[in-house]
DNA sequence: CTGACAATTTTGGTCCGACTATAAGCCGCA
DNA sequence: TGCGGCTTATAGTCGGACCAAAATTGTCAG
């Protein structure tokens, strides 16, 4: 807990340029958030005192405190008078918060964590597809169809294609008419986004994902919950397989529960 | 913008007594958070300007801003220069955040939302029980057994009993060895806690929940993923039934997906 | 020497008041 | 009519002061 202050003129703690958009406290939170999630500060560590740290970052104490409040709201840290601001154990982190996800994927993503996310997808999304098949209305189907068309037109290699993919999954979650699941959409969507980029980075996209998505759409349109659930299950499994191989561990699958 | 300040001594804007524990900005966030979640401020509404609002609450602008930062971190509001602080649409709320859950259950809980939470439980917990059956170690089983014993000793009518119940479900989630699911434990646990209290409030506890839990434990101990999943499925269904009848809508169930 | 009590001091919590930066909305010009 | 600059309200940032709680240290009685 020491010479962080000296490093300021270097690169590490340089004040983010915050070109018109993000506010100062926001970029501070981002910086510290990434540092925590990536392990620079381990759980249990005590951050330097407010005065020291804010001076090291060359920001006012107020801005720094606001950043800490945001981190505290996401369960990353906890500050108590006299005790200082302490990094909380990983179990308390709000790992499904979109910002935290962003920070987690800012550096090299932890492979185990990616696997965990896919495991969660494999649980939630098939069920969601089933509910969607029962509850979707004309509008949902229209959005799904449109997203699918856009995925066809652009490929997943383009930003537009990835947005379409995300819209597709979002629309399914929304069609469940379940707020709690819709919240997971933001998280899962973010995760999908990031992992998709990793697949691209490995610049080997062995599989054409359109047919998988099309099967899910057909089942939902037909109102067949069981088929939709199964089709989504296949989709997620294949996506994991692609991602895993892109991350260097081919052959990974998730054992199915009957 | 004036005599709200005079009303402070009344009831509405009374500063929370914060008897040694919660910090001031924390209680502000709590108050505004409850107001938003319970609909006092509707999505799209603009909050009064920082000076006005902080004066009305009789706190400094700094404390108010820190509270707003926390709310923003949970997706409840968004503030932009000149535009003010606006309540975000419900879809952006981090509904699974433990604090937000707390605020949601501070007033009369929305029945539809409770149903949605149970639907999510019905998706996640059986799957989690399945994973737990495959991955649990001796320690997990010990904790599960202990929680179960405590549930038996105290009933769910006591605080200790409810804690034991929560520990039981927590232990299962933890045994999945999946961080993403463990995060949901905090959320789901909170939801279970609140709804259990509602069941108590209706002071009719028709069913003895111990056997359901015992079956889940047995299956996990036996390493039988399928049985554990099924047993948990039953447990959640019955819990929903009890809760629904306590809330005045008996007979509610969640259709199963094969 | 030991343990409980008190003073110290560190650190977060709160407040104040001033200034800056941003962008919504208005106004005037083309 | 529509564009572009200007006004201005509002959030953002600053720094400096004081308060409150708690961990540490020191002190004193037993």
| B151 vs B192: CA distance, rounded Å | 15
B193-198 CB contacts, 8 Å cutoff, 24+ apart: B193/B162, B193/B166, B194/B101, B194/B105, B194/B109, B195/B109, B195/B114, B195/B117, B195/B118, B195/B239, B195/B243, B196/B156, B196/B162, B196/B165, B197/B162, B198/B109, B198/B243, B198/B246, B198/B247
Domain residue spans of chain A: 3-91, 108-246
Distance of alpha carbon B253 from alpha carbon B122, whole angstroms? 10
Chain B residues with CB under 8 Å of A183 CB are 91, 93-96
In the block, which residue shows the tokens 């909380």? Answer: A88
According to DSSP H, which parts of chain B are helical? Answer: 4-7, 24-37, 50-57, 61-73, 98-104, 111-135, 138-153, 159-175, 179-201, 210-222, 225-246
Q: Which CATH architecture has domain B4-92?
A: Orthogonal Bundle (1.10)
Q: Distance between terminal CA atoms of chain B? A: 59
Angle between helices A24-37 and A61-73 (to 10 degrees): 50
Residues 54-93 (A) near nucleic chain D, CB < 7 A: 59-63, 66, 80-83
Superfamily of structural domain A108-246: GntR ligand-binding domain-like (1.20.120.530)
A window 67-96: Cβ near strand C (< 7 A): 79-85
Q: What is the DSSP letter of A46?
A: B
Q: Residue A146 burial by CB count (10 A; 0-12/13-18/19+): exposed, middle or buried?
A: middle
Per-residue pLDDT in tens (0 to 9) along chain A, 258 residues = 333 333 333 333 344 444 445 889 999 999 999 999 999 999 999 999 999 999 999 999 999 999 999 999 999 999 988 889 999 999 899 999 999 999 998 888 788 898 899 999 999 999 999 999 999 999 999 999 999 999 999 887 788 888 899 899 999 999 999 999 999 877 877 777 777 776 666 665 567 889 999 999 999 999 999 999 999 999 999 988 887 777 765 555 565 555
- Between CA B136 and CA B129 the distance in angstroms is 10
Residue A229: its chain B contacts at CB < 8 A? Answer: 257
Strand D contacted by B62 CB (< 7 A):
yes
Residue whose Cα is closest to the C1' of C11: A82
Q: Which residues of A touch B180 (CB under 8 A)?
A: 95-96, 113, 116-117, 119-120
CB contact under 8 A, A96 and B184: yes
Across the interface, of A69, A179, A184, the residue whose CB is closest to B70 is A69
Q: Given CA atoms A189, A236, B183, B150 in this order, what sign does their dihedral have?
A: positive
Interatomic separation, CA of residue B18 and C1' of nucleotide C2, rounded (Å) = 38
Q: Do A161 and A87 form a contact (C-beta atoms < 8 A)?
A: no
What class is the A3-91 domain?
mainly alpha
């Amino acid at each position: 807990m020491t010479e962080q202050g000296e490093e300021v003129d270097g690169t590490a703690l340089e004040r983010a340029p915050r070109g018109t958009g993000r506010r100062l406290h926001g970029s501070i939170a981002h910086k510290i958030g990434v540092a925590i999630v990536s392990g620079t500060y381990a759980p249990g560590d005590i951050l330097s005192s407010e005065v020291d740290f804010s001076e090291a970052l060359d920001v006012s104490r107020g801005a720094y405190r606001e950043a800490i409040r945001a981190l505290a709201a996401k369960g990353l840290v906890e500050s108590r008078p006299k005790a200082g601001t302490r990094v909380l154990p990983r179990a308390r982190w709000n790992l499904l918060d979109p910002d935290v996800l962003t920070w987690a994927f800012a550096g090299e993503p932890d492979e185990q964590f990616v696997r965990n996310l896919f495991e969660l997808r494999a649980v939630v999304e098939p069920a969601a597809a089933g509910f969607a098949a029962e509850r979707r209305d004309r509008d949902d189907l229209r959005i799904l169809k449109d997203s699918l068309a856009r995925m066809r037109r652009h490929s997943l290699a383009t930003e537009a294609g990835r947005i379409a993919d995300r819209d597709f999954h979002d629309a399914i979650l929304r069609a469940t008419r379940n707020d709690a699941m819709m919240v997971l959409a933001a998280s899962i969507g973010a995760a999908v986004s990031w992992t998709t980029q990793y697949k691209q980075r490995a610049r080997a996209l062995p599989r054409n994902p359109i047919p998988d998505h099309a099967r899910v759409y057909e089942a939902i349109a037909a109102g067949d919950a069981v088929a939709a659930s199964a089709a989504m299950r296949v989709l997620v499994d294949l996506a994991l397989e692609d991602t895993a191989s892109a991350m260097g561990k081919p052959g990974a699958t998730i054992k199915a529960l009957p």
